[in-house]
Amino acid sequence: MDILAQQLVNGLVLGSIYALVALGYTMVYGILELINFAHGEVTMIGAMVALTVIGALLGVFPQLPGLVVVLGGVLVAIPACMLLGFGIEKVAYRPLRHAPRLAPLITAIGMSIVLQNAAMLVWGRQYVSFPPLLPQGRYVILGAQITDLQIFIVLLSFTIMGGLWLLVERSRLGRAMRATAQSREVAQLMGVNVDRIVSLTFIVGSGLAAVAGVMVSAYYGLAHYYMGFMLGLKAFSAAVLGGIGNIVGAMLGGLLLGIIEALGAGYIGDLTGGFLGSHYQDVFAFFVLITVLVFRPSGLLGERVANRA
């Protein structure tokens, strides 16, 4: 019972981070039918930029409260990642808008490698640690230990997802995004500047990635130039699980994937008689990805392609 409750909590925390990253994949796919494989790296850059700012703030103003320092890091990381996402689309995808679909997929992977290496040159190969600036409270609820940070991550992530849902479903910009996702051509006939909508989609997704990057590095206490790779693949799996292109699907897929992964890691030792340990955690995301692709390629909430207008 204790393991179950604990792993559900851990899964919810991880899942709400995956969901934020998965939203970036799914929004871009919805509009361009492109998998932006560099999105995981945007998350990593977000963490790195935030940690750099946090380090600088601590050096210059050692008296500042921890929460303010972290907030400062996040507030710089978000616009930095937005700018990066905007640039990635301009450089790697826009020139290939009318090229065969394989071409932007290759530049996506290329962009991902470029960003990893650039980050390695700037921040080095070492793990960068996240200083203990955040409240460290711990509570035991129903046998599960819950930290302040976990509560904070889940609340912030759900707030952001709620805000994004409102943006997409209720605002003029969101309506134009959904219209563009259905038909770029007809959206243009309505006077929508599709290039602008595409840029804004990358900007919004990258902002979410920045927040997720800071959350991950705060949660694990470190960041690394390679961290975006696995996080990106898992978030992509989450987006596919929820139904790629579907915004609520990405939220649901992220949460589910986090929970599946945590439960899998919690019980894999028991299930295999101790043969496999919890370090096999990463296997579950890909097990889920393959299962979804085989049995329900459209994902949990994805629409059948025939439904498209």
Partner 1 sequence: MSLLAVRGLRVAYGGIQAVRGIDLDIAQGELVCLIGPNGAGKSSTLRGLMGLVGHEGQVHFDGACLTGRATHEIATRGIALVPEGRGIFGRLTVAENLAMGAYSRRDHAAIRVDMAHVHALFPRLEERRDQLAGTLSGGEQQMLAIARALMGRPRLLLLDEPSMGLAPLMVRRIYETVTTVAREGVTILLVEQNAHLALRISQRAYVMESGSISLSGNSPELAMDTRIRAAYLGE
178 scored as a contact of partner 1 (CB under 8 A): yes
User: Of 35, 81, 176, 204, which one interacts with partner 1 (CB under 8 A)?
Assistant: 176
User: Of 1, 185, 274, 279, which one interacts with partner 1 (CB under 8 A)?
Assistant: 185
User: Of 145, 147, 188, 298, which one interacts with partner 1 (CB under 8 A)?
Assistant: 188
168 scored as a contact of partner 1 (CB under 8 A): no
**Which residue do the tokens 């090229």 mark?**
99
What is the full DSSP assignment across 155-193? HHHHHHHHHHHHHHHHSHHHHHHHHHHH-HHHHHHTT--
Question: Are 223 and 242 contacting, i.e. CB atoms less than 8 angstroms apart?
Answer: no
**Contact window for partner 1 (CB under 8 A) among 32-40, 79-87, 169-177, 284-292:** 169-177
Question: Are 66 and 244 contacting, i.e. CB atoms less than 8 angstroms apart?
Answer: no
Q: Supply the DSSP symbol for 99.
A: S
307 scored as a contact of partner 1 (CB under 8 A): yes
186 scored as a contact of partner 1 (CB under 8 A): yes
For residue 28, the minimal CB distance to partner 1 (Å) is: 18
For residue 85, the minimal CB distance to partner 1 (Å) is: 22
* CA 41/CA 210 separation, integer angstroms: 10
* CA 45/CA 64 separation, integer angstroms: 24
> Shortest CA distance to 30 belongs to which of 181, 238, 185, 253?
181
5 scored as a contact of partner 1 (CB under 8 A): no
Question: Are 257 and 18 contacting, i.e. CB atoms less than 8 angstroms apart?
Answer: yes
For residue 33, the minimal CB distance to partner 1 (Å) is: 15
* Cβ-based nearer residue to partner 1, 98 or 125: 98
* CA 71/CA 141 separation, integer angstroms: 28
171 scored as a contact of partner 1 (CB under 8 A): no
User: Of 71, 114, 151, 192, which one interacts with partner 1 (CB under 8 A)?
Assistant: 192
Residues 6+ apart with CB under 8 A from 170: none
For residue 197, the minimal CB distance to partner 1 (Å) is: 10
**Which residue do the tokens 């696995």 mark?**
230
Contact characters 193-232, partner 1, x per CB under 8 A: xx--------------------------------------
User: Of 90, 94, 97, 175, which one interacts with partner 1 (CB under 8 A)?
Assistant: 175
Size of the site for partner 1 (CB under 8 A): 21
Question: Are 285 and 234 contacting, i.e. CB atoms less than 8 angstroms apart?
Answer: yes
Residues that bind partner 1 (CB under 8 A): 172, 175-176, 178-179, 182-183, 185-194, 303, 307-309
